Amino acid sequence: MPDNLPMDFIDFPRLSGHALLSLRGVEAAAFAHAQFSSDVTALPLRHWQWSAWLSAKGRTLAVFQLLRLDEEHVLLVLADGDADAIASQLQRFVFRRKVKIEVRTDLAIAGSFTAPEAASGAAIAVEAETLELDMGSDALPRTLTIGPAPAGEAVVDPAFELAWRQSDLRYGLPRLSDDQREQWTPQQLGLDRLNGYSVKKGCYPGQEIVARTHFLGKAKRALQLLRVTDGTASGAKVEQNGAAIGTVASVAGDLALAVLPLEMAEGDLSVGGAEAHGVPLLEGLAR
């Protein structure tokens, strides 16, 4: 066990479904800036932001945290998706750029529903090889910690992982399963609430569609949080007065994020024949 691994990191429950993707090299930040939706080059060192990787048609392939650790190191925290597949797909765009893409299996990710000791907002706290990130607000404090993977079997707590996923949804952070990838624009997924895309920086995949939707005001749907029946599946239709009006994009237990019209008629909502009720989203996760 590494000597510099804090005991509280060892004790925190692991987020076993999360993965880390490292971009290293003198052109790492420039490569990330050209591929992802956020303004990477404007991000100060030892700070993080929400970002996304989009298709050429402006549909969301992945949503993640992007950490700019130093001048030559960008780290992606992927809550969903196959990190190896994403690394392989990104590799196709490297060409002659001086950047190395690597899945970091030597590091572990843990979480806690407590306020961070040193991190604040987008600022990352660094102690030896351990990183601390502020993943919440006063309304729902959370800390994400990244450090050297302890030896032996990881302690996995399914109840904690469900609670973490539900807290993501409460903040309006979409957690995309495979069937929901490449289905939604960043606007439909509410990534503007997280400052997860830029309409001012240069070209990146899908940028033209994102900018056009933003400046022409053509977004007619947005993400809303619903209380649903436990067991609801992503992709399920949301109905109102017997007509389908939207789709469930993310699910965690009895909570779901659904893409629904910005303007809706009066009437009760249902998903899968069961009543669904709107729940206010929490603020405070924008970075």
pLDDT at position 24 over 50: yes
Instruction: Give the model's pLDDT for residue 150.
Output: 83
Of all helices (H) and strands (E), which one includes residue 32? helix 28-35
Whether 11 and 142 map to the same domain: the answer is yes
Could you tell me if 135 and 222 lie in one domain? no
| CA dist 130 → 50, 107, 181 (Å) | 20, 9, 31
* In a shared domain, residues 94 and 193: no
125, part of any domain: yes
Q: Please report which confidence band the pLDDT of residue 272 belongs to, taking 50, 70 and 90 as the band edges.
A: very high
Q: What is the pLDDT of residues 120-143, one digit of tens each?
A: 999 999 999 999 999 999 999 999
Residue 275 is part of which domain span?
178-279
Q: What are phi and psi of 161, to 5 degrees?
A: -65, -35
Please check whether residues 242 and 141 belong to one and the same domain.
no
Per the model's pLDDT, the better-predicted residue between 10 and 91 turns out to be: 91
The 10s digit of each residue's pLDDT in 54-106 is 999 999 999 999 999 999 999 999 999 999 999 999 999 999 999 999 999 99
pLDDT at residue 10, as a whole number: 57
User: pLDDT band for position 9 (50/70/90)?
Assistant: low
Confirm whether 187 is domain-assigned: yes
Stretch 142-155: mean pLDDT: 87
Confidence class for position 152, pLDDT limits 50, 70, 90: confident
Task: Check whether residue 149 and residue 21 sit in a common domain.
Answer: yes
Cα–Cα distance measured from residue 246 to residue 255, given in angstroms and rounded to the nearest whole number: 15
Dist. CA 260–CA 244, nearest whole Å: 10
Residues 152 and 193 in one domain: no
* Inside any domain, residue 63: yes
Q: How many domains does the chain have?
A: 2
Residue 171: is its pLDDT beyond 90? yes
